[in-house]
Amino acid sequence: HLFIILAGCIIIKFPVCECEGISAERCLIWGPGLNPNPVLPVRYFFIQAVDSKGENLTLSPGKDTFKVKISSLDKKEGDASFLLRYRLYSTAPKGLRVEVLHQDAPVARSPYTIQGPVYHEYCDCPEPNSSVWQSIMQCPAGEPQILDFKAIPTVDLERLRQEVPQRFSARGGLIHYAIINNQLYRHTLGKYTDFKMFSDEMLLSLTRKVSLVPDVEFYINVGDWPLETRRADAVPILSWCGSTDTQDIVLPTYEVTHSTLETMRGVTNDLLSVQGNTGPVWANKTERAFFRGRDSREERLQLVSLSKENPELLDAGITGWFFFRDREKHVGKAPLVGFFEFFKYKYQVNMDGTVAAYRFPYLMLGNSLVLKQESQYYEHFYSHLKAGVHYVPVRRNLSDLLEKIKWAKENDAEAQQIARAGQAVARELLQPSRLYCYYYSVLHMYSERQTGQPTRHTDMELVPQPEDLTAACTCEHKGRQEENNMKDEL
């Protein structure tokens, strides 16, 4: 049986138009969800509505314009209507049939036949050729942020094993990993290691996708703060957040990782669902800046003070108190607001928490203008962003925040243009395939710098692949693997 979770439209919302009739045959459909080879936690594709004159619509023709039916080629099952994304819970050996309809007329080249096998996320069928896999995933030629490795030209594994536990194990949580023959092993160090579930899940998922993940041995820091402060003779620590004061190699945050892996499995604010819940159209948004969050940085309290003094420009509140509880009575506590409600406002204030605010990717994916506090902290994709092009920068002490909000109100068209540019670049950088490409690139670059033999140490345990007896799959890659091995021997 083929199990598919269905979900609603995730395309950016526009005002509903009173437009010329849609031309079903002229509409465009594209994306990895129509290709059997990219195995991702969620498969997705895009529909561009085109009118009878052949012009792309820039306003939404309404949420019920398109109907999508997916059925297994192995066995006819009940169809259901949904838009744009689906998640498999079993492999379709023969493939899938995807029908996209507008008023019962086929859209573009519908129906699409996706020749099988189409593997589900938990199918352990890695592609044997890493170059083929990177091509399938459309991985970029390079990732600028991975240039963090320039400070670490050599990874001496013997030194790494001795120095990292001694210097950093008391700082929170470290996970000592080894990947050998595509098997994952680990040992935990420190008091706070529960977040290893995120790195475990991602590394296991990657080894299910590509069989030539290089043999590597490394440490992931699962705490908030990056660790390696040495400018010279630094040791490589992989962390979820980087800073200009440290030399850590930056991975996608646990928040981005979890959102990608668990899309459509109960995660409310995943990176795809945000794109379909961006509030009113730009012209109907409230012309104020908005912020809700915990008291994890003192500037956040200053922000609330600015809000009280300038309510016509700013609506800011603290929803949880932990760090500055003695200030709660004076500052006050604001009620929680659902994240999708943020986008009722034209401007979003992004402020650091203990480190970089991990909501930033989500704010970028909305259709509001992001006012970002200048910071020494950064996430894995920041190097692609340009201040004034994708977001509006704000001084760290917030001294120019009100001035920037006033500028946005007085320059509405330019503010909207920046918001759209930020959303577009975030959609490109944060799509699921890029997460896997980034992880693979980090591990590959790391492996090229290793000296010494990656080893499963006696204190390491095997991290097994999840068992899914209801969704067993037969890997057709194995035949190609054997052929490749024979060619190598010849």
pLDDT in tens, 49-83: 888 888 887 666 766 677 777 777 765 433 222 33
Task: Write the pLDDT tens digit of every residue in 240-294.
Answer: 999 999 999 999 999 999 888 887 666 567 787 777 778 899 999 999 999 999 9
Banded pLDDT at 122 (limits 50, 70, 90): confident
Q: Do domains 4-115 and 273-429 have the same CATH topology?
A: no
What pLDDT is attached to residue 42?
80
**What's residue 219's pLDDT?**
97
Query: What pLDDT, on a 0 to 100 scale, did the predictor assign at position 129?
Result: 92
According to DSSP, the residues that pair with 96 across neighbouring strands are 72, 114
What are 43's two structure tokens? 């498969």
Q: Which CATH superfamily is domain 4-115 in?
A: Immunoglobulins (2.60.40.10)
- Of 60, 61, 82, 63, which Cα lies nearest the Cα of 71? 82
pTM of the model: 0.86
CA distances from residue 365 to 64, 380, 446 in whole angstroms, order as listed? 23, 16, 30
CATH architecture of 273-429: 3-Layer(aba) Sandwich (3.40)
The predicted structure's pLDDT at residue 84: 63
Sequence ranges of the domains in the chain: 4-115, 144-259+450-467, 273-429
How far apart CA 51 and CA 27 sit, in angstroms, is 8
Sort residue 266 into left (φ over 0), alpha (ψ -120 to 50) or beta.
left
Contact between 247 and 152 (Cβ < 8 Å): yes
CA-CA-CA-CA torsion for 407, 412, 418, 423, nearest 10 degrees? 130
Residue with tokens 């669902």: 273
Can you tell me the distance from the alpha carbon of 329 to that of 325, in angstroms, rounded to the nearest whole number?
Answer: 8
